[in-house]
Each structure stands twice: as C-alpha cells, then as structure tokens.
Structure 1
Amino acid sequence: MAVMAQSSMGDDMMLYAFSVRGHVGSSFLGELDMNQVLQMEAESGRRKLNQRRKYISYSAIDMNNVPCGRRGHSYYDCNAHHPANPYRRGCTKATRCARTY
C-alpha cells in the first residue's frame, strides 16, 4: 500500500509517494498522514534556507578598496606582522620539504 500526498508550489504540483511495508492484521505500519508529510517538507525547506547564508562586510563592497594588499595576511588582521596561516610542518617525504615564505 502507498500513501500519496500532494503539495503545490506555485503552478507546479509535486507528488510524494511513501511505500509502506509490513502489516499486522488489517492495519498497516508506517502510514504517514498529510500533516506529517507537509511538516517534513517545511523542515527541509528551512534547512536549505539556512545553508545559503553568505555575508560580505560593507568595507569589502566599497569601490576601489582592496581589503588587504599584503600577501598571505588575513583580511581581518591586515596590519599584523605575522602571516594568517603560517606553514609549520617539518620536512618529511610526504611534504617534500615544502617551501616557506
């Protein structure tokens, strides 16, 4: 047996089919009602919206403004006299003695 739920997004119609396996007597296990289906759809939509957050600071949007002109330095700590991510590994066969700046 399958439970069908219908949801509309604008003019598009989407069909969700949930197959149900196993039953006890005349009752089926795992049936989903319409409210459960719509709630799952709303939760997945909220997750997608939360993943799209990407922010840009106002100073980065200014015209002709380079956030930090010093190579290897973080945008947020440009005036510091140390690199943002210094390379600190030793010389091994795996790293092949990578050069340091």
Structure 2
Amino acid sequence: MALNTTEYALGHRCVWSTCNVTGYPSIYREYKLDCCTLSVPLNYARPNRSITISMSRLSPLQSTSQNNTLFILMGGPGASGWNLLKSAALLIPAQLGL
C-alpha cells in the first residue's frame, strides 16, 4: 500500500539547528548555515524501509524584501554535497534573497 505523502510530511518535520562545520570560505560571514536530518521512506510505494537524508540551509544574515528559497539536490549515494555548498555563496549573492 502506498504511503499518503501529505500525512507523512505533516508528521515528519525538519528541525533546523546551526551546523557544526568549520573550514568553509570567509565569504560565508554574510550567511547563516543551518542543518537538519530527516528520515524519509526509501520507497513511498513500499514505506516499510527508510533512509536519513541530511539537508542544509544557507540564508543571508541581512533581511531582504524577497523571501526566496532555493533547493539544490546535492551529493548522492557515497558522495558529499558539501563541495557545492562551499561555493554557493560565491554563486548566489545575498541581494537575490537566497
């Protein structure tokens, strides 16, 4: 039986907290980096197994009139998404509201 994704999402929220990372570029002084982990079904059609995914959120410290959100799928099985995140501040200026 397939899982009702709306019901699942309502009961499984990401709890954001400050990331415990070091060594990322000084340009990040303009940003706040938060992290969370979330348990999700490996297969929504057969939800008897789950995996844990890690997410990060990079947001400018200065408020802007824009409230934009950008989701980027980074990494994969056995690969880290941190390399892309390390360059995100260079690629996406704070003026864009991201």
Question: Does TM, normalized by the shorter one, top 0.5?
Answer: no
The structure showing larger relative contact order (alpha-carbon pairs under 8 Å, at least 6 residues apart) is: 2
Structure number, greater radius of gyration: 1
TM-score band w.r.t. shorter chain: under 0.3
TM-score (norm 1): 0.22
TM-score (norm 2): 0.22
